[in-house]
Structure 1
């Protein structure tokens, strides 16, 4: 894999808490999904990559640039788009004014070219009809699409998206997947999510984080195969099973040891993810 991003032994502490513990990662062109429970270090890693947070140790190289060096950090910022987990907005701006302001910050100084960029990203996130609306009047889903629009300004080569589908309804989520899939054809997209179905639908590369480090790095199919031979379907709820749930058909899906009377089931990404985190939790305990 030709790496767009290389992360080596990345470490970040907040007080006495180690949030990233020598995390390492290589990301190439296409769409990479970053999975992990709350507190795994996903947002901190993305903030370090987006240059909004300086690590305490380790090294990042992105697009051939080293963000630890001031001049290269500025050059990297020109070439990346970042959607933070909690984007801040000026509520009294209109949607167009806000994007125009962000475009100026991204050094799009030619007014005609800048406005073409603003109209382009509004169309991509389907907010053209809200261009003159005040930001404070937007719904949560619209604000999330606005946050994505500002990340797409200046046509970045590297997109870093932290929980981009939060607040989107099912139709908007499907449209988002189509947009990101298209973007990943000619650039590098790294997105964190709690939605394993987003990873299955979008990503050709998936990374799982836990405890500040990377515990899986491979393909979505590879993550599903973590649970190969360990996923079962049975008619009665098995006693003592930790990872199980009732399906829409009224049967019980079990991840782990085979219950009595159970038949094998095809593993999915969610099964591999749950088994991976469950095994790690036992090892830590």
Structure 2
């Protein structure tokens, strides 16, 4: 299933949250990269049919969620992990995932329980399936949320900040799970962690201030910073951003001086440069 977004707009109390967002995503893992407040969660809630846009067009697998029939078909083929899943903490892992399976119209009890056990095992919680959610660690709760999103082998999986708050080991496990899921369907992964994008995504969409600033491969995004990263022994006054690294030298982002010692850019450099340029442009426009 493909995701197509054209000219999407959304306003809250007179404030524009999404301003003409346009992109497409197909099979594999697509990263939706942006800072807090960029509009990522609002966009994902619209794609998950939780919210309706004010303007623009959305298609998931060619279906239009703006129509009742299209919305029903999208929901049947969609897996969604919101940023705050809203667990029923008194339920066990099995009971919670089974409850979501019932909401997804899995009416045959034996087949439904087989599917619940399958996704619980897939996310590595088979031994914890009888534990109450209130007794799980944060990482286990995120895996429980991912399990319910994978019920029924959805065509599209939407994940809102799935690695937020996880320690490095938990984050690596999540990356492994998500990469395997992306082998069989379209995954849209929202994050502000550039390392998640670099590790997982074959495509990245950068959303800043409610607008699509970039749509391409991680390599293409990194290329935006080519020739704009340099090392120096002291903080460069002309840099957009500059920080002291572990070896005592400074890494600078911006427009380098003629004699600068250029450095190999990273996806984080390009992202910082992209958001920094946007903020500088907004400041100049407001002046």
What interval of TM-score do these two structures reach, taking the shorter chain for normalisation? over 0.9
How many Å separate the matches in 2 of 1:163 and 1:195? Answer: 9
SS for the counterpart of 2:85 is coil
Measured after TM superposition, the shift of residue 240 of structure 1 is 5.0
Aligned to 1:282: 280
Instruction: Give structure 1 stretches of 5+ with no counterpart.
Output: none
How many Å separate the matches in 2 of 1:259 and 1:123? Answer: 55
TM-score (normalised: structure 2): 0.95
1:42 matched to 2:30? The reply is no
Measured after TM superposition, the shift of residue 120 of structure 1 is 1.4
TM-score (normalised: structure 1): 0.96
1:139-173 deviation line (CA, Å, top 9, x unaligned): 22211111111111111110000001113221121
SS for the counterpart of 2:239 is coil
Aligned to 2:118: 120
1:152-191 residue pairs with structure 2 within 5 A?
Answer: 152-191=150-189
Q: Is the 8 A contact 2:239 2:256 kept in 1?
A: no
SS for the counterpart of 1:150 is helix
How many Å separate the matches in 2 of 1:25 and 1:184? Answer: 18
How many Å separate the matches in 2 of 1:114 and 1:247? Answer: 53
Match of 2:81 among 66, 80, 83: 83
Q: Is the 8 A contact 2:238 2:254 kept in 1?
A: no
How many Å separate the matches in 2 of 1:79 and 1:25? Answer: 20
Measured after TM superposition, the shift of residue 233 of structure 1 is 1.4
Instruction: Give structure 2 stretches of 5+ with no counterpart.
Output: none
1:76-225 residue pairs with structure 2 within 5 A?
Answer: 76-225=74-223
Q: Is the 8 A contact 2:238 2:255 kept in 1?
A: no
How many Å separate the matches in 2 of 1:213 and 1:241? Answer: 25
Q: Is the 8 A contact 1:10 1:24 kept in 2?
A: yes
Q: Is the 8 A contact 1:144 1:166 kept in 2?
A: no
1:53-112 deviation line (CA, Å, top 9, x unaligned): 011111100011000000110111010100001110111111110011101111111112
Q: Is the 8 A contact 2:81 2:145 kept in 1?
A: yes
Measured after TM superposition, the shift of residue 246 of structure 1 is 1.9
How many Å separate the matches in 2 of 1:111 and 1:199? Answer: 38
The Cα RMSD (Å) is 1.4
Aligned to 1:19: 17
Match of 1:64 among 55, 62, 65: 62
Measured after TM superposition, the shift of residue 282 of structure 1 is 1.6
SS for the counterpart of 1:243 is strand
Measured after TM superposition, the shift of residue 257 of structure 1 is 2.2
How many Å separate the matches in 2 of 1:158 and 1:78? Answer: 10
Residue range with higher mean Cα deviation, 84-93 or 166-175: 166-175
1:226 matched to 2:224? The reply is yes
Measured after TM superposition, the shift of residue 237 of structure 1 is 2.6
